[in-house]
Amino acid sequence: MFMGDGFQGMQIFDILIMALIAFLVFRFIAARRRKQQPQMAAAGHAPFQREAHQPAAQPSIFGGSAAPAAARPVINAPAWFNEQSFLAAARNHFQSLQQHWDANEMDKIAEFVTPQMLQFLKQERADLGDAFQSTYIDDLNVQLEGVDDRADKTIATLTFSGVSKTSRFDQGEPFSESWNMERAPGENQPWLVAGIRQNG
């Protein structure tokens, strides 16, 4: 009995040691992979880490080529525009897109973005492979940077910032990205993401 109990205790202890070693090896490999492929690692943290360029016919609502942070926001909102409702919906948009991005559900992402943006994102996601991505966003902030009501559409620019993690126990990395969103004229039209820019 004594030898049996001692041997059984060693098995449990051995399993714990092996689990710890496996965890450390996994973290080491993951860290090396991040160093070797910094762009792909960054793309795995937040949904869209590279800029999707806007067509020349759609200049920034901030005017010129100045950075959004340095420019004065343009607020030319239509009468029906409600900023608080828009920001709440934008937050839900962001979280839904993040979940669909992690699960590689491009058909569902298509409901949130313009056709041109969808093609860009499909290529970005294909570069990451088909595997499920695990992303957690903490301290998500949403800020309205500008609204421009035009004859053919309404354009709004938002900045999302927070901390992106690959697990709940990860320290994470801060991120900031601006979304250009468009809405066609008429009732019950959806807001679609037309462009995404990383802010440093």
Q: Return the pLDDT at 187.
A: 85
User: Which residue bears the tokens 């609204």?
Assistant: 147
Alpha carbon of 185 to those of 55, 77, 193: distances in Å? Answer: 20, 13, 16
Q: Give the pLDDT confidence score for residue 50 in this predicted structure.
A: 34
Domain with 141 in it: what CATH number?
Answer: 3.10.450.240
Q: Is residue 192 part of a domain?
A: yes
The structural domain count of the chain equals: 1
Residue 2 lies in a domain: no
Mean pLDDT of 130-138: 89
Residue-wise DSSP of 80-130: T--HHHHHHHHHHHHHHHHHHHHTT-HHHHTTTB-HHHHHHHHHHHHHH-S
Asked, for residue 171, whether it belongs to a domain, the answer is yes
Rg (alpha carbons) of the chain, rounded to whole number? 22
pLDDT of amino acid 92: 93
Closest CA to 156 of 164, 148, 165, 167: 148
Q: Distance between CA 65 and CA 43 in Å, rounded?
A: 25
What would the two tokens of residue 38 be?
């910094």
| Predicted local distance difference test score (pLDDT) of residue 72 | 60
> Does a structural domain hold residue 63?
no
Cβ(44)–Cβ(133) under 8 Å? yes
For strands 173-183 and 75-76, give the pairing: unpaired
Decide the pairing of beta strands 136-149 and 173-183: unpaired
User: Mean pLDDT over residues 148-169, rounded?
Assistant: 94
**47 within a domain of the structure (yes/no):** no
The yes-or-no verdict on residue 23 having pLDDT over 60 is no
Q: Are 140 and 94 in contact (CB under 8 A)?
A: yes
Structural domain of 145: 75-198
Q: How many C-alpha atoms does 26 have within 13 Å on its Cβ side?
A: 6
Across the range 80-96, mean pLDDT stands at 94
Q: What is the average per-residue pLDDT within 41-52?
A: 38
> In this model, does residue 61 exceed pLDDT 60?
no
Q: Does 34 reside within a domain?
A: no
Residue 120 lies in a domain: yes
C-alpha count within 13 angstroms, C-beta hemisphere, residue 34: 13
The answer on pLDDT for 19 being more than 90 is no
pLDDT of 62-82, one tens digit each?
Answer: 333 334 444 567 789 999 999
**161, 145 contact by CB (below 8 A):** no
